[in-house]
Amino acid sequence: MKKNILNRIRNKELIVGVVGLGYVGLPLAVEKAKAGFRTVGFDVQNEKVDMVNHAQNYINDVIDNELEEVVNSGMLKATNEFDFIRNMDFIAICVPTPLDAHQQPDISYVKSAAELVASYLKKESIVVLESTTYPGTTEELLKNILEEKSGLKCGRDFYLGYSPERVDPGNIIYHTKNTPKVVSGIGEDATEVIAEMYRAVIDGEVHVVSSPSVAEMEKILENTYRNINIGLVNELTILCNRMGISIWEVIDAAKTKPYGFQAFYPGPGLGGHCIPLDPYYLSWRAREYGFHVSMIESSMMINDKMPEYCVERIEKILNREKKTLNGSNLLVLGVAYKQNINDYRESPALHIIDILEKYQANVEYYDPWVDEYIFKGERKCSLSELNPEKIASFDLVIITTAHSDFDYTMIQKNAKMIFDTRNAMKGITIRNNIELL
């Protein structure tokens, strides 16, 4: 089986299926198709399927003309008919892995995808999970579902592995094509075949590890590392504010050290699909082994409380101006979770707005990247534009996302007061109406 599959990879004869056409799945599907593999994207959302088939891009990290090229050439198509999986030779599962209402891992999407794949899985197929999850998911959950529902045997009839997604929305240097890839398989043959498949698609290094559990833990380490360091600097931010010290100046001084220090920056909280969520997966899994990841859990609590801390700071700023939070007119600049992208998943700005409105503040937002968003079932729309008169009408302007296309000079000149949680106004010389996080 291995020899035949390797030959088919080298000859670009494998047909690729990508389950889930979101921030991970669509870029991967485009790269597979660009590499010469006929690719089919599967998604339950009809809107995404239609957009892909009409070469309409909805992911910033996908280049419009590259999507058009692979769709128009017939190398990529999308469908919501999962019975086509029976024709797939290589299947990548790229579905969401959120948290449930109790901050527990919600792997229902992985289970559903695995059951659909298993229903149509054929011999000599390769299945790779790319969704971020807890160590043991591939070998304990996915393998069992695929074997039980398909009647096939992993390692004998099909290959199974894990390769964690590495997607950094808005990164202008690293993307799916050139980012190093960690790969793993259940068994040496599976690992060799999966590694060869990714080498045929990406330019970055393909780094092989000994088991899916190692690869799953590696992915969580990446994001937990960032979570802990951001938690550290957020906690120091709160302390520095009480001490009358600028954390931003402290970090600028510390990063002059050419070794042993990497700069992390404070903010109103963590956003995106990975960094705020992945430590919860590890913490949940650790408890099954009677182990508490105390340092990780502490950083999670600090980062989760940052929106509330920002509201406390907003209230103090208004109090100094003899205003109350109740009834104040506030403008939030940016609801995307990071600059220059349209992704607002887990954005701390949404939580800040929600808390402010609970205190009866009148809140509007402006984000040129996010025209509207839905949070807790409620839809909100961005202001259509910013002008000096509009800015001057607010009691306080709150910068929660440092988009590069904001006119910060104009904002500073016309705002009564500014609370800058991102140090976006660093280049402004006159700062008497600006307060930093």
C-alpha span between 348 and 345 (Å, rounded): 9
The number of angstroms, rounded, from the C-alpha of 424 to the middle of its chain's C-alpha atoms is 22
Bridge pairing between strands 76-79 and 39-42: parallel
Choice among 240, 274, 310, 381 that is catalytic = 274
131 and 307 Cβ atoms separated by less than 8 Å: no
C-alpha span between 13 and 114 (Å, rounded): 24
SS percent in the chain: helix, strand, coil, step 5 = 40, 15, 45
The number of angstroms, rounded, from the C-alpha of 187 to the middle of its chain's C-alpha atoms is 30
Would residue 381 show up in a list of annotated catalytic residues for this protein? Answer: no
Contacts of 139 (CB under 8 A, 6+ apart): 186, 211, 212, 213
C-alpha span between 407 and 426 (Å, rounded): 13
Residue 407 vs residues 61, 116, 389, 419: alpha-carbon distances, Å: 24, 49, 14, 16
- Reading the block at residue 21, the tokens are 């056409």
C-alpha span between 60 and 39 (Å, rounded): 20
Q: Could you give the angle at which helices 212-243 and 294-304 cross, rounded to 10 degrees? A: 50
Structure-token match 């103090």, residue found: 316
Structure-token match 């959120």, residue found: 98
Phi-psi region of 382 (alpha: psi -120 to 50; beta: other; left: phi over 0): beta
- Reading the block at residue 292, the tokens are 């508490």
Looking at the DSSP bridge assignments, the partners of residue 266 are none
Question: Burial code of 165-198, b = ≥16 C-beta within 10 A, e = fewer?
Answer: bbbebeeeeebbeebebbbbbbbebbbbbbbbbb
* Residue closest to 29 by CA, chosen among 59, 50, 6: 59
Number of neighbouring beta carbons within 10 Å of residue 122: 14
C-alpha span between 281 and 47 (Å, rounded): 30
**Catalytically annotated residues:** 274
